[in-house]
Amino acid sequence: MGWTCSHQKGFHCDLLNVPCEPGIKGCTLYGKAVFADPSTPSNEAVERREAMRRLKEEKEREEEMKRLMEAAKRGV
């Protein structure tokens, strides 16, 4: 997939004032996109974000189950 970045001027990133390296920390794509290069820092950030989302969803399901069990005990 192709893309363009409003911060990229040639091979330079105006946002970070460094040579453009998509997916580095500070890049607008960091943690939001998975890159083909497995060593891109963004990939690890995406994995961490997804793991946190899964943990949050699991906790919410457990809390809902506890609430339902308590309601069942009360006969509601």
**pLDDT per residue as tens digits for the range 15-63:** 999 999 989 999 999 999 899 999 999 999 999 999 999 999 999 999 9
The whole-number pLDDT of residue 70 equals 94
Q: Is there a domain that residue 42 lies in?
A: yes
Q: Is there a domain that residue 22 lies in?
A: yes
The whole-number pLDDT of residue 11 equals 93
Q: Is there a domain that residue 40 lies in?
A: yes
- Domain span at residue 33 reads 8-74
* Domain count within the chain: 1
CB 36 within 8 A of CB 42: no
What predicted TM-score, i.e. pTM, was given to this entire model? 0.65
41: left (phi over 0), alpha (psi -120 to 50) or beta: alpha
